[in-house]
Structure 1
Amino acid sequence: MRRLRHLTGHRRTVASNRVLGLLLAFNAGAVNAGGFLVVHLYTSHMTGFLSSLADNLVLGQMKLVLGAIGALWAFLSGAGTTAIMVNWARQRRLRSTFALPLLLVAVLMLLFGLVGAITLSWPTPFAVPLTVLLLSFIMGLQNATVTKMSSSQIRTTHMTGVVTDLGIEMGKMLYWNRTGTAPESQVRANQARLRLFAGLLGMFLVGGIAGAAGFKHVGFVFVVPLALVLLALSLPPLWADRARLRQPWRKALALQAPLDPPLDPPTAR
């Protein structure tokens, strides 16, 4: 329990950021690849939707434009929700600063796994199923959580930046330093960053394989175990904050409580 609380608590370390980032990269890869089999769209990164918006705006395909706008809006809303929850928790000095948005991710993934098939037929004003909006919102939540948690050093829902940084470190590793070059002038790879980016890329790939296989053979229910893992990660800090989380409710109830009724007037003798 203490290890889980440390993993998602407000006090961050390089090790805890790395472990949580790897777990969430696996989760994003699974949701992204598995979701593609359902809605035929990758919902964990917005580059494709932004390009689709530009292309179809020029081509006059307004239905596809609305679909791209819907996914972008949902992802932005998820990231904004994370910012609200994290700053709310920070102002109250809660241990569950980053556990709160992860709890919301877990709950939404659990709902998606249990009733996701129903959402495919629900109409939306954005010309895409509610499933696309839900998955984009979840990915926005997760990506913003990891971004704020790691001070923008780790991304888990899209791999373009990770592959770029990994390539930079590999270039440094392969660079030939001439004999006699001063140690402070030599080009050397950052081994910690190299391992981190390689790990994120590998976990996203493994998660994608697992997600594609899970959705193909099991269906929406495959998401339930992933949601339960995130639930297990987010609950320990929330449990540690249970007393502080009750305080606002107690104050609100105290303000709403009716005043004591007046005493009955004395009876005449």
Structure 2
Amino acid sequence: MASTLDQFATREFYSVVIGGTALAGIAGFINAVSLAGVYAATVAHVTGNVTKAGMALAAGNFTTFGIMGGIIGAFTCGSFVSGFVIDSTKFQLGSRYGLLLMVESLALFMSCGLRNLEMLTGELVAAFACGLQNAIATNYSGAVVRTTHMTGICTDIGIVLGQAASRNPRTETWKLKVLVPLLAGFFGGSMAGSLCYQGMGPLSMLIPAGAVGAIGVFYLTWKPARKAREVLVTAVKKVQNEIESGIRTVATPIMDFAKHHTPTLMRSPSGTIIATGVAAAAGAAAGVTAPERSLQHPIPSPSTPTEVLAKTRAKEELERKIDRVKENIQLQSSPEDVMPLTGNDKFELGDGNEDDDN
């Protein structure tokens, strides 16, 4: 298949699924509460209201026709406001979505407070809120996203399943990951709305109003909070770099100074010779452990200039005496003139002025 279920496994994709499912659940909750008794009519089910309006007009019941027509018009006005503010069918997380959701929350609170008025203002405001919500996200990568009515959702699910059954290679089965959660969310919201109305009565409409407001606050603060976090992380990294640069600036001269000076030597507990003093201080400032040197290679003690001069003179004197001995040997005319040495004779190096008879 060209499109798989995992093709759109991104953060944005799951944001659409989670947000859309939450809004579908809220729409189901509102529809169930309004149908159960607050208004005794649906404010999100436009198809049914259009049918009721046609039946009322055919029967000459202009009052019912006016009520249904007003609900349909309010729903359309809500969609108009949403399209005017967002100005795009592409889903994008941003503050505009948060603003529209806050308006919807306010409208739901108003509908709850205006439910006892004779002009059916509460119904109209609730329908306006549902129309505004349904138009917030109309399309995501080709998948139509509706959160307040399920006719189109069920139609799209059936189309995708039919194409998959026919083994169409271009079937976009990934859409099921959007459409099925929307249907499940609306169903669950309808159950929750019915149960809450049995326990709370008309005040149960405050629950979806508060939930939509919370989602709106999240949309309004998500991007600014993310940008603030990025700015904070950048500032922290900048401070860390400045601190490290300052440490290097201070430690480099100390290390250079330590390289040109002999450090104090001491024996460590492990039996090695370690550098302390200036070199150790420089290493600690730079975060470097003091270098160690094994005792198997002891450091020779330095010789003074006087000792070096004395050794040089002694070596030169010895070389001169050896040369004189070689000269005396070469003066002998023949081997017979050379007296063999006995065990009692002693050979000493002289100054080169000894007599030949000796």
Provide the TM-score with structure 1 as the length reference. 0.69
Matched, 1:78 2:78: yes
Deviation, 1:189, is: 4.7
Residues 223 and 197 from structure 1, CA distance in 2 versus in 1: closer, same or farther, beyond 3 angstroms? same
Counterpart contact for 2:71–2:127, Cα < 8 Å: yes
Matched, 1:68 2:68: yes
Query: SS at 2:136's partner residue?
Result: helix
Instruction: Give me the whole-angstrom Cα distance separating, in 1, the residues matched to 2:67 and 2:141.
Output: 31
**AA of the residue aligned to 2:138:** T
Match of 2:115 among 113, 120, 130: 120
Instruction: Give me the whole-angstrom Cα distance separating, in 1, the residues matched to 2:47 and 2:184.
Output: 21
Residues 236 and 120 from structure 1, CA distance in 2 versus in 1: closer, same or farther, beyond 3 angstroms? closer
Deviation, 1:144, is: 1.1
Deviation, 1:138, is: 0.9
Q: Trace 1:29-44 onto structure 2 (pairs within 5 A).
A: 29-38=28-37, 39-44=39-44
Deviation, 1:74, is: 0.8
Deviation, 1:36, is: 0.4
Query: SS at 2:53's partner residue?
Result: helix
Residues 98 and 148 from structure 1, CA distance in 2 versus in 1: closer, same or farther, beyond 3 angstroms? farther
Instruction: Give me the whole-angstrom Cα distance separating, in 2, the residues matched to 1:233 and 1:150.
Output: 23
* 1:23 aligned residue: 22
* 2:288 aligned residue: none
Instruction: Give me the whole-angstrom Cα distance separating, in 1, the residues matched to 2:136 and 2:201.
Output: 27
Deviation, 1:222, is: 2.4
Deviation, 1:122, is: 1.3
Residues 142 and 62 from structure 1, CA distance in 2 versus in 1: closer, same or farther, beyond 3 angstroms? same
Matched, 1:13 2:12: yes
**AA of the residue aligned to 2:77:** S
Instruction: Give me the whole-angstrom Cα distance separating, in 1, the residues matched to 2:55 and 2:163.
Output: 37
Query: SS at 2:144's partner residue?
Result: coil
* Alpha-carbon displacement from aligned partner over 1:116-166 (angstroms, at most 9, x marks no partner): xxx333122xxxx22221221111110011226777720011101111111
Counterpart contact for 2:30–2:208, Cα < 8 Å: no
Greater mean deviation of Cα atoms: 15-24 or 51-60: 51-60
* 2:213 aligned residue: 231
Instruction: Give me the whole-angstrom Cα distance separating, in 2, the residues matched to 1:137 and 1:105.
Output: 8
Instruction: Give me the whole-angstrom Cα distance separating, in 2, the residues matched to 1:195 and 1:149.
Output: 12
Counterpart contact for 1:95–1:241, Cα < 8 Å: no
* 1:265 aligned residue: none
**AA of the residue aligned to 1:174:** A
**Which protein is bigger by CA-based radius of gyration?**
2
Matched, 1:205 2:187: yes
Residues 163 and 15 from structure 1, CA distance in 2 versus in 1: closer, same or farther, beyond 3 angstroms? same
Instruction: Give me the whole-angstrom Cα distance separating, in 2, the residues matched to 1:139 and 1:232.
Output: 16
Deviation, 1:238, is: 3.1
Matched, 1:158 2:140: no
Structure number with higher helix proportion: 1
Aligned residues: 209
Instruction: Give me the whole-angstrom Cα distance separating, in 1, the residues matched to 2:44 and 2:156.
Output: 19
Query: SS at 2:44's partner residue?
Result: coil
Identity %: 26
* Alpha-carbon displacement from aligned partner over 1:96-119 (angstroms, at most 9, x marks no partner): 121111111122223444x2xxx3
Instruction: Give me the whole-angstrom Cα distance separating, in 1, the residues matched to 2:94 and 2:189.
Output: 29
Instruction: Give me the whole-angstrom Cα distance separating, in 1, the residues matched to 2:161 and 2:139.
Output: 26
Residues 203 and 95 from structure 1, CA distance in 2 versus in 1: closer, same or farther, beyond 3 angstroms? closer
Query: SS at 1:158's partner residue?
Result: coil
* Alpha-carbon displacement from aligned partner over 1:249-269 (angstroms, at most 9, x marks no partner): xxxxxxxxxxxxxxxxxxxxx
RMSD value, Cα? 2.7
Residues 55 and 173 from structure 1, CA distance in 2 versus in 1: closer, same or farther, beyond 3 angstroms? same
* 1:97 aligned residue: 96
Counterpart contact for 2:46–2:72, Cα < 8 Å: yes
Query: SS at 2:137's partner residue?
Result: helix
Provide the TM-score with structure 2 as the length reference. 0.53
Counterpart contact for 1:105–1:141, Cα < 8 Å: yes
Higher relative contact order (CA 8 A, sep 6+): 1
* Alpha-carbon displacement from aligned partner over 1:207-249 (angstroms, at most 9, x marks no partner): 000001111211233233333332222224434669xxxxxxx
Deviation, 1:43, is: 1.2
* Alpha-carbon displacement from aligned partner over 1:179-222 (angstroms, at most 9, x marks no partner): xxxxxxx4575332123211111111110000011112112332
Unaligned stretches of 5+ residues in structure 1: 1-11, 89-93, 178-185, 243-269
Unaligned stretches of 5+ residues in structure 2: 1-10, 226-358
